[in-house]
Amino acid sequence: MPSVRIPTPLRKLTAEKDEVSVSAANVGELIETLESQFPGIKNRLCDESGNLRRFINLYVNNEDIRFLNGKETSLKEEDVVSIIPAIAGGL
Amino acid sequence: MSFVKGLKCKECGEEYPKEPLHVCETCFGPLEAAYNYDEIKKVLTRDEIEKRERSIWRYKELLPVDAAPAVGRSVGYTPLIKADNLARTLGVKEIYVKNDGVCYPTLSFKDRVVSVALSKAKEFGFRTAACASTGNLANAVAALSIEGGLESFIFIPYNLEQAKIIGTTIYGANLIGVKGAYDDVNRLCSEVAGKYGWGFVNINLRPYYSEGSKSLAFEMMEQLGWRAPKHVVVPMASGSLLTKVWKAIKEFEMLGIVPENGTSIYGAQATGCSPITTALKNKWEIFKPVKPDTIAKSLAIGTPADGFYAMNVMKESGGWGEDASDPEIIAGIKLLAETEGIFTETAGGVTMAVTKKLIEQGAIPKNETIVMCITGNGLKTQEAIADSVAQPHIIEAHLEDFEELYSKIKNQEEKGGTQDAVSSHTHTA
């Protein structure tokens, strides 16, 4: 199963787990499955229309899904998905 | 009294109290200071501003500080230069240089933002100031922490220019060189900020800090004779300064301090780190993070936090963005020095080069007021241009040696103009 790295601000929802395994064929499915296991997490990742929030980055094996296939990006067994809130900084 | 209502998420609009917070808990969007403009309108007028001291605090109602400012009391009010020689060279009617290369006390516009951030840090009761920096911010935090009686911890990429390192440690700051680029330093700092109870000017104090940038544009409008320019060119690293220049113009217009003038805002990046202009030119809604490779280290941020908002401002205001290569940056630094006697750092070279490009492309018309925001001093980035400037003529202490050299210089000037004489200096030694 693909594994998902959970950032600190979202660990309240995952009982403090920093990595969870989720069975899903693509990123969209992965978000739905995460929501069924950890209710409330979808609202943190996506806006009302279901689009990924602007300041949330999802990486599949270190590649931003915005430069892959978005939520249609397919997942393989050994893939690692990282959820990374954008870091504000610099001027 | 305070004119700041609180903080508000720029993305989802959720409101927060005035605390050291910078990210929305719900959607991770950036927080921004929200003002009570109706109350400000009653007190802030041109006459009132003109009576006050020449510092950023003459616009204090529009800065997010509640108590009397404790840090940076003399910061700001840098010159706005009408650059007639440069105008002739570029073939434009009217161009100005807002020269923050002589900002007090550390010669960059960061003195403005840090004054606001550390004044707020004192209000919050922080004892330690910290930042992630590409250099100018490091200098400003280190120096202004002295005025605020704060200890400072400063994180920089380890390969920064020597002048920026010395200009930090001289004040007794704790300086940490991190093996990596600015984006790595920033990532580390967001972890440090979560763990230590410090005031990180560009992390948990960011909503206050970034507002300080507006003072540059307030001054620019006042110095133009209470009007907004038609065109402003601003350098971009994270894109924050550009968004704040726009915000300042909109605030002055809304408060009736200047008439609306349909100002267009243009962003300048180095080609070796141009995620914002690249996205703009390709009509992308998102940014491809880059590994910076440019001499303009103060603009080398590969993941621009305010890039999305900066891009919106450029589009909405009818402006545009461009980027400049390293040789163009050096040519830009020289152009500003040789026409106006202003020695700017590499970021200023970017702004100069991009301004020239945008005028040549026709993106900026030649017959309307242009302002260039020059944000730092050339003495800090001398390594970047050391090989591109002339060396002295070395002679014996004899009058005849000088006379021989003098006639040689004059001959070369007649043959090929001063430029050739300058480039051949090294051979005359």
Residues 114-143 of B with CB under 8 A from A: 132, 134, 137
Q: Is B56 helix (H, G, I), strand (E, B) or coil?
A: helix
Summarised one tens digit per residue, pLDDT across range A17-52 is 999 999 999 999 999 999 999 999 999 999 988 999
Summarised one tens digit per residue, pLDDT across range A63-83 is 889 888 999 999 999 999 998
b (16+ CB within 10 A) / e for B110-126? bbbbbbbbbbbbbbeeb
Query: Which residues, other chains included, contact A67 with Cβ-Cβ below 8 Å and sequence gap of 6+?
Result: B286, B288
- Fold of the CATH domain A3-85: Ubiquitin-like (UB roll) (3.10.20)
Write down the ipTM of this complex.
0.77
Rg (CA), chain B: 22
Min Cα separation A62/chain B (Å): 12
Backbone angles phi, psi at B298, to 5 degrees: -70, -10
Cα torsion B120, B124, B125, B130: sign: negative
Question: What SS3 string covers B358-378?
Answer: HHHHCCCCCCCCEEEEECEEH
What are the Cα distances from residue B395, in Å, to B176, B402, B408?
A: 44, 7, 13
pLDDT for the residue numbered B422: 44
Summarised one tens digit per residue, pLDDT across range B293-308 is 999 999 998 888 899 9
Q: Where are the alpha helices (DSSP H) in B177-299?
A: 182-195, 206-209, 214-223, 240-254, 275-281
pLDDT for the residue numbered A37: 95
pLDDT over 70 (residue A88): no
CA distance B290 to B198: 29
Min Cα separation B29/chain A (Å): 6
Low-confidence ranges of chain B (pLDDT < 50): 419-429
Six-digit token string for B170? 């001289």
pLDDT for the residue numbered B173: 97
Contact yes or no for A9 and B203 at CB 8 A? no
Q: Which helix (H) or strand (E) holds B115?
A: helix B110-124
Does B299 contact A at CB distance below 8 Å? Answer: no
CA distance B428 to B40: 63
Cα torsion B205, B22, B139, B49: sign: negative
Residues of A in Cβ contact (< 8 Å) with B182: 90
Provide the residue ranges of all domains of chain A, joining segments of one domain with +.
3-85
Work out the pLDDT band at A91, boundaries 50, 70, 90: very low
How many other C-beta atoms can be found within 10 angstroms of the C-beta atom of residue B281? Answer: 13
Residues of B in Cβ contact (< 8 Å) with A55: 11, 23, 27-30
Strand order in the sheet with B174-178: B174-178, B151-157, B128-132, B199-200
Min Cα separation B152/chain A (Å): 18
Residues of B in Cβ contact (< 8 Å) with A54: 11, 29, 308
Contact yes or no for A66 and B303 at CB 8 A? no
Name the closest residue on chain A to residue B210, using Cα atoms: A91
pLDDT for the residue numbered B1: 64
CA distance B228 to B249: 7
Contact yes or no for A91 and B241 at CB 8 A? yes
CA distance A16 to B424: 68
In this structure, are strands B174-178 and B199-200 parallel, antiparallel, or unpaired? unpaired
pTM of the model: 0.91
pLDDT for the residue numbered B426: 40
How many other C-beta atoms can be found within 10 angstroms of the C-beta atom of residue B264? Answer: 23
Residue pair B370/B95 in contact (Cβ under 8 Å)? The answer is yes
Q: Which amino acid makes up residue B45?
A: T
